[in-house]
Structure 1
């Protein structure tokens, strides 16, 4: 502090001792630099929010359908609430991690192709992601078909396992819709056309609530009604996306279905697998923590409370994912254009934005944390357990505003493999053991597991910050350029032009 003051005083004395014309020139230069910095921050923020805002709206409302469904299920039966929590936080999170993770390769490739003005390649990358993701999901279906025996094998209570098995079958339809909605969103946001996704997601959420009420209470379909409403609303979003793409609103990037999507698919599979591992290690971390909660003294209460708290974190996490999506697009676009300086500046503005949002929700959770449980259940024991976790919940929300954006920076640069290693160490070698020891050995129960979770997230945030700081962005520009050249395929127009010249 004293050094800063000394330098400022020295600088002012140096200026005051100069000729008045030189003094005015130096001061005006200083003002111009400050004004230029403000202008650059304002322009970069506009670019970030052009992608982030629609992405946040779509993610919050889409995830909101899952939370609303949980709320309806929770008011039907406490056993079904625990069953739903198991499936949603274990099976769905497990498979979703693979699907979303593998789809992040689409984010990287489409973003970089858009930056390099290789627009026709974006449609080919989208089709490749469909082939890879649909194959992966189909291979993983036995997890949902045989859910009851799997949960019995894991030692969960029989009533909860039976309910989870029934709910799992409904989630199959939901997951197939996720393959299309996730990849299309990444494809559209790479070209800054994701406002349509936001509108469709809002409509999906608006349809989902009355549809759930109609099926559950008016038609008295109970659990099946709640799950049917979830499936219908999720496919509504997908059909809307298909209409937008196939209807001609993406003329530069969508040239129709092509066999070129099968060509060079193995490098895409390789990048998709590393992307999948990166996200899976992150999402499975929370899933395993829920599994640990299932072995607590009062399993039904522990699973329900932990799942409710995680869903609150996850809902706020959707906002961070929106900023993360923007980070992917901005970093990928600038690397595709070959501008390392613009990449670094964008990262700084992204981090400032995400920290501010994290602080806002941290305060919100501190104020209203003890009332959150009533949104999902009337069981006082569950509500009290959620209330006990409110302080830890607030700090989880704060950290969630930081590390996903750093992950987005890595995805935009295609550094998924490095992040996968960081996730493995921070979550599974540090976070999980701490949570297990505090929860079982020190008898802190759910609170101990949550402290372990935060420990993993803190180390993850520090490691990703260090990795971003140490990355040579000029070198990443060269790597991006080489990757795009290697996977480039001529468009139909270019092929015709070359044949005409020959």
Structure 2
């Protein structure tokens, strides 16, 4: 298929013009997007000037998306981190329990529901690019129903967290305290089920700043109420986790109020629809592919925390590793912000029938994210001897953390590329393929090599982490190769077919 510089000759746009029930003019993002395609297709311009112009347009589009998205993820992560810090100042045992509960159990729910929510990102992003605005609200509601249904089995895991942690060999004292912490996070599961579809719904329309402002206001409330609950009232670990659940529900409620009141969402949110309760099985299939892809990534480092609990000195291993994982988690939020921006940019461009712009967006977002990751790694290495004191006291923990920091720096640099490539995969709808790659690289290569290095060669946590870095590197190289070889014209055709398929699912429902 040969690409034409004239967007109106493209089948995706013809489809959107024929089918669209909205007369809304394209947004500023859509305008800049078509401008980017024109610049990249203009062979009259010298190639250097063409790419300079295109880079400037793309950077403006990218930063408008990435900056608020990074802020949202950083603030939401900082709420979770502040809860661990409040717990850590109750004692080292409480810190180990909160970290095990948070990174050993809670990340299970986060990974599963965020992964399922990324199906909304593919569908909403491509529908918005094709100007099928009416479909976005139905996708949002359908996703929320599906995620709510999947939340109930997760509650069972939370309720039985203590026997599960004991079953995999965690110490009785740490497992008991961790389960208390986890029980207070049960309301948070249902907040996740509503929050992630809302977040993807807004991001696909390049509406990111309101979520950032809502999260910023909530974190202030969270810190004050956490301090009162943990220290003044003396509710301890349970109080800390209950406040975290409350804070997430504040964010969800405020975002939903914004959607139903904002003029920016008047064409994409047209009220509750009965068709959201139908076609659920098709949505479940796409959601499961998305969930498996993201869960395999999120749980990968969760395994590292769980295995560290099996070491000879589990409390020191868990404390040192938890500090590094907390820093990694915070910096990973920057990468997830770029992941979201990459997904929105690629899905919008593919939906709008702009293959050159989609390919160019992939290059720019990867370069920007990689540079930011290198800067983060340099800062962490320079401060490696003092980082641990933010979370918990003790010179032994500080020395253990400093010893692990070189591995943390390598992980941060890899995180500058790998999540962005995953975002590209979500934008294109490649979730099922990436899930297979993740199984092979992470669970067939990374974890077994890590366990051999850690236990057989007595390298401890450093050995396990080194093996897992190898798995991440392998996965990153495969995704780079696949992305480099992508036929973006074919991806545009696939997006057109996907929109038609989902429209056919919806049409018979409207006749009932």
User: Shared topology, TM-score over 0.5?
Assistant: yes
Give the counterpart of 1:253 among 268, 274, 285.
268
- Quick one: distance in 2 between partners of 1:290 and 1:222? 23
How far apart are 1:228 and its partner, in Å?
Answer: 2.8
1:57 aligned residue: 71
- Quick one: distance in 1 between partners of 2:142 and 2:384? 43
1:255 match: secondary structure: coil
- Pair 1:472–1:149, CA change in 2 (3 A): same
- Answer with 1 or 2: which has the greater Rg: 1
- Quick one: distance in 2 between partners of 1:343 and 1:64? 32
- Quick one: distance in 2 between partners of 1:468 and 1:453? 23
How far apart are 1:216 and its partner, in Å?
Answer: 2.0
TM-score, normalised relative to structure 2:
0.88
Q: CA RMSD in A?
A: 1.8
1:90 aligned residue: 104
How far apart are 1:459 and its partner, in Å?
Answer: 0.7
2:93 counterpart of 1:79: yes
* Residues 124, 261 of structure 1: 8 Å contact kept: yes
1:166 aligned residue: 180
1:154 aligned residue: 168
2:500 counterpart of 1:485: yes
How far apart are 1:165 and its partner, in Å?
Answer: 1.4
- Quick one: distance in 2 between partners of 1:60 and 1:489? 39
1:264 aligned residue: 279
* Residues 120, 491 of structure 1: 8 Å contact kept: no
2:15 aligned residue: none
* Residues 362, 424 of structure 2: 8 Å contact kept: yes
1:312 aligned residue: 327
TM-score, normalised relative to structure 1:
0.90
* Residues 155, 189 of structure 2: 8 Å contact kept: no
* Residues 185, 242 of structure 2: 8 Å contact kept: no
Query: Which consecutive residues of structure 2, in runs of 5 or more, have no partner in the other structure?
Result: 1-42
* Residues 300, 442 of structure 2: 8 Å contact kept: yes
Give the counterpart of 1:460 among 469, 475, 480.
475
* Residues 62, 204 of structure 1: 8 Å contact kept: no
- Pair 1:491–1:429, CA change in 2 (3 A): closer
2:146 counterpart of 1:124: no
2:432 aligned residue: 417
* Residues 121, 489 of structure 1: 8 Å contact kept: no
- Quick one: distance in 2 between partners of 1:261 and 1:491? 9
2:383 match: secondary structure: helix
How far apart are 1:259 and its partner, in Å?
Answer: 0.9
2:54 aligned residue: 40
- Quick one: distance in 1 between partners of 2:101 and 2:210? 30
Q: In the comparison of the two structures, how many residue pairs are matched?
A: 466
Superposed CA offset, 1:393-435 (max 9, x none): 1111111011100000010000001110111111111110111
2:311 match: secondary structure: coil
How far apart are 1:490 and its partner, in Å?
Answer: 11
Query: Which consecutive residues of structure 1, in runs of 5 or more, have no partner in the other structure?
Result: 1-28, 497-502
How far apart are 1:30 and its partner, in Å?
Answer: 10
Superposed CA offset, 1:135-157 (max 9, x none): 11112211110111111111211
- Quick one: distance in 2 between partners of 1:379 and 1:272? 44
